[in-house]
Amino acid sequence: MIKKRKVVIVGAGNVGASTAFCMINQGICDEIVLIDMNTERAKGETLDMIHSIAFMNRNMEIKLGDYTDCKDADVLVITASAPMGKENDRLVALKSSSKIVTSIVSSAIENGFDGFIVVVSNPVDIMTYVAYKVSGLPANQIIGSGTLLDSARLQCHIADCIDVDPKSIHAYVLGEHGDSEMIPWSTVRVGGKDIYQIIKDNPTRMNEGMFESIHEAVKKDGWEIFNRKGNTCYGIAASTTRIVRALMFNESVVLPISTYLDGQYGQDGVFTSVPAILDATGVKEVVEIEMTKGEKEQFDASCSHLQSFYKEV
């Protein structure tokens, strides 16, 4: 008998529901289970999605469930977290979100879950660390959405400057998904061409003076959306689905996600975003890219910033 691919999503709010629908659109798995304290909201989302299946490329089972559904799940996606205030700081809800993630992971493990955990809840790097500590699962099975979306935003900003498709741009945002995140500009390539050579050849389109403004724009993009519509959901749903797809289909793809560093980049015991190879085993390998001295200092500072909050969780 062929094993069905199953994903459990905890949190049926805007992010969780959008993630589920994105997975349905892409035919990622055979079964999606939604879990939420607000069962009426979750039931409504479930019914709405069920009615969309007739128009999709494949049949899927979508249902409202509970933590007993985690026993045979391949992936547990955690989107539930404490609401953020008007401070525009993902760290404000740290302790409340930590309690929520601890409860979710504990409930899943108690019901026999032993698959992959993909953490989306903010502050995502610290919540990924919490999930790792609570679950007792190997570090390669715990993945945070990290700066995958930030990196896509960076690609979009560079693409706007030089008028190319964002998919032709190879660029990462690394470190914390937050204010201390950094961009290793020395590694940015467009169609294989070094960003500094592009600037030299196209001075009217882009210059190094734009690096800081692009960096700030990337950090503020989420808040630009949040302050207008009260949430961000489509971008994070698509990036989360991208992670799950890599796991489900054994893609061996390199993505910038929040993962555990055990000596790589000179860091130990911290979850932060770096390029990593994802396949059916989870994080198969951390890809260590060469950075300039200044870039490495920024990355180290971001890691130290994250670790300073571990004592609070």
What is each CA distance from 100 to 60, 125, 169, 294, 313, in whole angstroms? 29, 15, 37, 37, 11
256 neighbors 148 (Cβ within 8 angstroms): yes
123 is in an annotated binding site: yes
Q: Sheet containing 189-190: which strands, arranged edge to edge?
A: 169-170, 189-190, 193-194
300 is in an annotated binding site: no
145 is in an annotated binding site: yes
Dihedral angle of Cα 21, 26, 29, 34, to the nearest 10 degrees: -10
Beta partners for 270?
Answer: 261
121 is in an annotated binding site: yes
Residue 142 backbone dihedrals phi, psi, to 5 degrees: -110, 120
Structure tokens of 57? 């490329």
105 is in an annotated binding site: no
Structure tokens of 124? 């995502």
Residue 118 backbone dihedrals phi, psi, to 5 degrees: -110, 115
15 is in an annotated binding site: yes
Q: Is 215 a catalytic residue?
A: no
160 is in an annotated binding site: no
125 is in an annotated binding site: yes
232 is in an annotated binding site: yes
How far apart are alpha carbons 127 and 98 in whole angstroms? Answer: 6
260 is in an annotated binding site: no
41 is in an annotated binding site: yes
109 neighbors 293 (Cβ within 8 angstroms): no
18 is in an annotated binding site: no
268 is in an annotated binding site: no
Task: Report the 10 Å Cβ neighbour count for 163.
Answer: 8
Structure tokens of 41? 């909201």
Three-class secondary structure of residue 78 per DSSP: strand
20 is in an annotated binding site: no
79 is in an annotated binding site: no
Continuous segment of H or E residues that includes residue 81: none
Catalytic residue among 51, 157, 170, 177: 177
Which residues are known to be catalytic? 177
Q: Which residues does the annotation place in the binding site?
A: 15, 36, 41, 67, 90, 103, 120-125, 145, 150-153, 232
Q: Which residues does the annotation place in the binding site for substrate?
A: 90, 122-125, 150-153, 232
